[in-house]
Amino acid sequence: MTLDAVWPELSDLLGDRVTRSKGELKAHGGSESYFPLTPPDAVAYPETTQEVSALMKLCSAHGVPVVGWGAGTSLEGQAQAFSGGIVVDFARMNRILEVSQGDMDARVQPGLTREALNDDLRATGLFFPVDPGANASIGGMASTRASGTTAVRYGTMRDNVLGLEVVLADGRIIRTGTRARKSSAGYDLTGLFVGAEGTLGLITELTLRLHGQPEAITSAVCAFDTIGDAVRAVTDAIQMGIPMARIEFVDAATVNVFNSYARAGMDEVPHLLIEFHGSANSVQEDAESFGEIVADHNGRGFKWAADAEERKALWTLRHNAYWAILQERPGTRAVVTDICVPISRLAEAVEATQEDLEAHGIRGPILGHVGDGNFHAILLFDPNDSAELERVKQAADRLVRRALEMGGTATGEHGIGVGKKPFMASEHGEAWAVMGALKAALDPDNLLNPGKLVPDA
């Protein structure tokens, strides 16, 4: 049905917090990746769970699709309303509801960003560790099961969400999980909704696991002659149980961009960026152990950044890599793709990807969170050159197929959306149909983020 049927009641419910203005629709119709602009029919800004519930009841009664929106940073089209309908923007639901220092947890609303959360936690001695790079919303991070630079030490959103409040397709409000650190009480519904990409319900509250701020932090950067040497150094460090907090890989092409964009002055060869958290003594011991591994793999130029400003500069460089790479070739866009493979196959996967891109004449710097077997390729293309886009998409497809052949996954953290949906059957087999059955049970009219993640109804 059209939005017109529900519009009068929506306007009564939200007033000027539901809009059809062209500017708002356009702002909620795009993504940071290659998908075309697809404006929704309306954008709603609820402020309470009860408003979200009432909105869903109205949309369910009139058959109007609903798509959740956090910060809009997803890379596989998860937040775009390809079927029309209403985008629910959680920007006004951005409060910290409770912080328990004793239990090391917090209750927050989904529109809160990770940087705002950690700014508020600074005085408590606690922090929330999941860092995907972008200042994403907590609700969006849960919906895509995000991870990032710190996953090797602190885990992903799956490991750091204790419980949820969720509004289902029919408007029911449910709570999953508890503040207890473990439970044997039934299905893990929290785990079901974390990573569901808004296809099963709209998250309106999260209970998060917090961690103690480390006594000491030190970061380092080191160079390697080959990709294989760098990745094998990471593999050895993991197998030896060295507790790295972050371990990032950047290839020579990315370093070239760093030098052009930020005058980094780095040798244009593959590099590792690493960080250790702990006590002053443990950090020093871990760093020394890692230094020995680096030397064994022909690493060089080991440079420590112990002071906070140097560390911030190092990780800002890494987090800005995507934008710096785009600026290298003005006017381009990118297919930003990621895969994750078993650690033992990581060096092989990275080297094979680089060879594939070179063979097909594709500019695609490689970087990523190699500590958990995850890496990204930023494949540049001219948006006015359909042939180049097709070549880039084919390269991304080969990257995924290579990962699946190695026992890996189509995506380690970007999620499925529509971009990776064609690979779900290959990765999951009959289990993908089970996902579809769960979707049908909770959302029989296919109103929540339709066309994403699960098989078409």
Nearest residue to 38 (alpha-carbon basis) of 63, 67, 6? 67
Q: Report the CATH number that the domain containing residue 408 is assigned in CATH.
A: 3.30.70.2740
CB 231 within 8 A of CB 346: yes
Q: Label residues 262-279 b or e (16+ Cβ within 10 Å = b).
A: eebebeebbbbbbbbbbe
Distance CA 46, CA 14 (A): 7
pLDDT digits (tens, 9 = 90+) for 195-245: 999 999 999 999 999 999 999 999 989 999 998 899 889 889 988 999 999
Asked if residue 56 and residue 23 are part of one domain, the reply reads yes
> Considering the domain boundaries, does residue 184 fall inside one?
yes
Nearest residue to 114 (alpha-carbon basis) of 146, 68, 88, 69? 146
Q: Report the CATH number that the domain containing residue 220 is assigned in CATH.
A: 3.30.70.2190
Domain end marker among 39, 63, 91: 91
**Tell me, what's the pLDDT at 1?**
60
Backbone dihedral angles phi then psi of residue 362, each to the nearest 5 degrees = -110, 130
> Considering the domain boundaries, does residue 19 fall inside one?
yes
- Lookup result for tokens 């529509």: 418
Question: What does the chain come to in residues?
Answer: 457
Asked if residue 113 and residue 208 are part of one domain, the reply reads yes
Two tokens at 253?
Answer: 């092409």
Q: Output the CA angle 192-197-198, nearest 5 degrees.
A: 90
Q: Output the CA angle 415-416-422, nearest 5 degrees.
A: 150
**Tell me, what's the pLDDT at 319?**
87
Question: SS3 sequence, 384-396?
Answer: CCHHHHHHHHHHH
Asked if residue 103 and residue 201 are part of one domain, the reply reads yes
**Tell me, what's the pLDDT at 8?**
95
Nearest residue to 258 (alpha-carbon basis) of 221, 217, 213? 221
Q: Report the CATH number that the domain containing residue 7 is assigned in CATH.
A: 3.30.43.10
Asked if residue 87 and residue 116 are part of one domain, the reply reads no
Asked if residue 198 and residue 222 are part of one domain, the reply reads no
Asked if residue 80 and residue 157 are part of one domain, the reply reads no
> Considering the domain boundaries, does residue 35 fall inside one?
yes
Asked if residue 105 and residue 201 are part of one domain, the reply reads yes
**Tell me, what's the pLDDT at 239?**
87
Calculate the alpha carbon distances from 342 to 59, 397, 407, 415 in Å.
43, 19, 7, 18
**Tell me, what's the pLDDT at 34?**
86
Distance CA 413, CA 152 (A): 13
The per-residue pLDDT string of the chain (457 residues; one tens digit each, 9 = 90 and over) reads: 678 889 999 999 999 999 999 999 999 999 888 899 999 999 999 999 999 999 999 999 999 999 999 999 889 999 999 999 999 999 999 999 999 999 999 999 999 999 999 999 999 999 999 998 889 999 999 999 999 889 999 999 999 999 999 999 999 999 999 988 888 999 999 999 999 999 999 999 999 999 999 999 999 899 999 988 998 898 899 889 999 999 999 999 999 999 998 888 899 999 999 999 999 999 989 988 999 999 999 999 888 876 888 888 888 888 889 889 988 889 899 999 999 999 889 889 999 999 999 999 999 999 988 888 899 999 999 999 999 999 999 999 999 999 999 999 999 999 999 999 999 999 999 999 999 999 999 999 999 999 999 999 7
Asked if residue 183 and residue 107 are part of one domain, the reply reads yes
CB atoms near residue 78 (< 10 Å): 28
- Lookup result for tokens 């443990």: 282
> Considering the domain boundaries, does residue 334 fall inside one?
yes
> Considering the domain boundaries, does residue 455 fall inside one?
no
Asked if residue 115 and residue 14 are part of one domain, the reply reads no
> Considering the domain boundaries, does residue 422 fall inside one?
no
CB atoms near residue 440 (< 10 Å): 14
- Lookup result for tokens 């697809």: 38
Ramachandran class of 39: left when φ > 0, alpha when ψ lies in -120 to 50, beta otherwise = beta
CB atoms near residue 228 (< 10 Å): 16
Residue type present at position 327 = Q
Asked if residue 153 and residue 253 are part of one domain, the reply reads no
Domain end marker among 192, 212, 232: 212
Nearest residue to 250 (alpha-carbon basis) of 242, 241, 259? 259
> Considering the domain boundaries, does residue 430 fall inside one?
no
CB 368 within 8 A of CB 374: yes
Asked if residue 382 and residue 403 are part of one domain, the reply reads yes
- Going 440 to 416 to 30 to 53, the CA torsion angle's sign is positive
**Tell me, what's the pLDDT at 312?**
87
> Considering the domain boundaries, does residue 426 fall inside one?
no
Domain end marker among 272, 306, 322: 322
Number of domains observed in the structure of the chain? 4
3 state DSSP class of 202:
strand
Asked if residue 332 and residue 309 are part of one domain, the reply reads no
Q: Between helices 321-328 and 308-319, what is the axis angle to 10°?
A: 50
Structural domain boundaries enclosing 203: 96-212
3 state DSSP class of 85:
coil
3 state DSSP class of 382:
coil
**Tell me, what's the pLDDT at 385?**
94
Q: Between helices 346-359 and 227-239, what is the axis angle to 10°?
A: 160
